[in-house]
Amino acid sequence: MVASNIPSFKLSTDVIPLQCTGAYALMDSLCRHGVKHIFGYPGGAILPIYDELYRFEAKGELQHILVRHEQGAAHAADGYARATGKVGVCFATSGPGATNLVTGIATAHMDSIPMVIITGQVSRAAIGSDAFQETDIYGITLPIVKHSYVARHARDIAWIIAEAFYIASTGRPGPVLVDIPKDVGLEQCEYVPVNPGAVKLSGYRPTVKGNPRQINAALELIASAKKPLLYAGGGAILSNAHAQIQELAQRFQLPVTTTLMGLGAFDEHNPLSVGMLGMHGTAYANFAVSECDLLIAVGARFDDRVTGKLDEFASSAKVIHIDIDPAEVGKVRRPEVPIVGDVRQVLEQILQRARELDLPTRDTLTQDWLAKIDTWKQNYPLEVPHPHDALSPQEVIVEVGNQAPNAYYTTDVGQHQMWAAQFLKTGPHRWISSAGLGTMGYGLPAAMGAKVAVPDEEVICISGDASFQMNLQELATLAQYNIKAKIVIINNGWQGMVRQWQETFYGERYSSSNMEVGMPNFALLATAFGVKGMVVHHRSELSDAIAEMLAHDGPVLLDVHVKRDENCYPMVAPGKSNSQMLGLPKQK
């Protein structure tokens, strides 16, 4: 909806309004909401805001990171939000600046990432006249934001920003757009600050506590299931429910699988972990979901890349579905026990109820089920090939993970993303990947945002040679601000996942998927931008090169040339059930 002129909270009567511009009201409001970093790119319509930003930066109140393309700003704000759980913020000007954000906004929307996007707009009198660099970014982004505003008056900015942060970060998180005409940024107003916590929106009351009756029903199913499976999605990460998932799994001896978004919600070194499920999930996770008698879905949306053939997905199981978004519960699979609420709080309710009833911890009820899963783990392990004439992508990722086990990892999209998901064992918020939209070009700017957010942590981007070329200009941003992220390119000369599908399903007709002609020398390219560039061709070089990369006090790009035609397995073919996987290891 377009912002009205009626504040959604009660103004304090003892606050003396400050006479200032709309741009000042914006910058002060952002600081009041804890913003320390903004990713953006200036332009004509947003110059009044950048002029005020200059003053705020001079006072040391925040830092602006100048990206080289607005899409990089959106992805960096997204990576910042995923690494911290806080709201990421980005700026862009009107017209092409705003439209360049669209892919990043859609990425955040699909993965429920809290962001506030500020766009400049032509002056109010020029709106609708096809003025220079005018686009209706409000209308363009309506399907891919949680909410939108157009600031019609400078006096409205304080409460618009307060509402935007509240909406972006509560309930099911998501991106919120605030479009500010140029003359609104220049307009003088009586500014009354609005602090976090002051907003009360009628009609917007996210349910966070589960219904007690449904809690009891869920607990009854969990306590009696012989072949249960806990299925954790991105909502488990967003709600910080990893401790509750750990306790629930241990108490009731539940094997745990995660989605791509849910990686890190459960310790994959734990014997109860079965890793990721779905199209490129582990065989044992996919077999488990195909045979379980109870599926406990927490913060997961039954994505098609997870379910495979839907009518055969957990077809023998009763389903408990816990999600804060009521629109997701029952959207794809109708659950026996639907619970709307915050994942962490609902799981805590279940655990508390189990304590009240003094339910014993289980050692025997799921014993046979866990033994069967262990057999699958032994028979169908994830394999790391070691071809005699080339490096395999898997061994590169395993070596990076061994040397940097506690790093924050971002990825681009494709085969390297799936191998990273299979072999890296990460913690909560340390896996940062475009899951729902599958955005190539996401990895580098997301790593940039994550490293700005957690400067004392190791941040590594796993990319592919095709994906990296989508936003390689952000090497300049790394160099300008000495953002010490590391980039590992899994270089096979192809759009790897496209090539794999063309090989498997399109008769080996490799249409427009080879990237060798025109591919730059990535190490030299990095050097040209002022970033340390390295290259690896042979297995004997790999370990030392990774160690050198990690030891370097600055950004590094490591270009690793790998086997050209390696495929990512296991793989559930389109239209097949999860139990029908291609590329399973041959049984001895």
Closest by CA position to 226, among listed 283, 292, 288, 298 = 292
Instruction: Name residue 321's beta-bridge partners.
Output: 297, 338
Q: What is the 3-state secondary structure (H, E, C) of 156-181?
A: HHHHHHHHHHHHHHCCCCCEEEEEEE
Q: Is 271 exposed, middle or buried (0-12, 13-18, 19+ CB in 10 A)?
A: exposed
**C-alpha span between 302 and 287 (Å, rounded):** 16
Residues 261, 497, 534, 549: which is the catalytic one?
Answer: 497
**C-alpha span between 513 and 491 (Å, rounded):** 14
Report CA-CA distances (Å) from 262 to 36, 273, 279, 298, 434: 27, 12, 15, 10, 12
The answer to whether residue 182 is catalytic is: yes
The answer to whether residue 190 is catalytic is: no
What is residue 137's three-state secondary structure? helix
Residues 133, 345, 403, 480: which is the catalytic one?
Answer: 133
Instruction: Name residue 175's beta-bridge partners.
Output: 115
Closest by CA position to 401, among listed 378, 374, 430 = 430
**C-alpha span between 541 and 526 (Å, rounded):** 19
Contacts of 334 (CB under 8 A, 6+ apart): 319
Q: What is the 3-state secondary structure (H, E, C) of 471-508?
A: CHHHHHHHHHHCCCCEEEEEECCECHHHHHHHHHHCCC
**Which contacts of 538-545 are long-range, i.e. CB under 8 A and separated by 24 or more positions?**
538/391, 539/386, 539/391, 539/395, 542/391, 542/395, 542/396, 542/399, 543/399, 543/403
Radius of gyration of the chain (CA): 25
What is residue 238's three-state secondary structure? helix
Do 85 and 432 contact (CB within 8 A), yes or no?
no
Residues 71, 86, 163, 182: which is the catalytic one?
Answer: 182
The answer to whether residue 70 is catalytic is: yes
Catalytic residue ranges: 70, 132-133, 182, 497
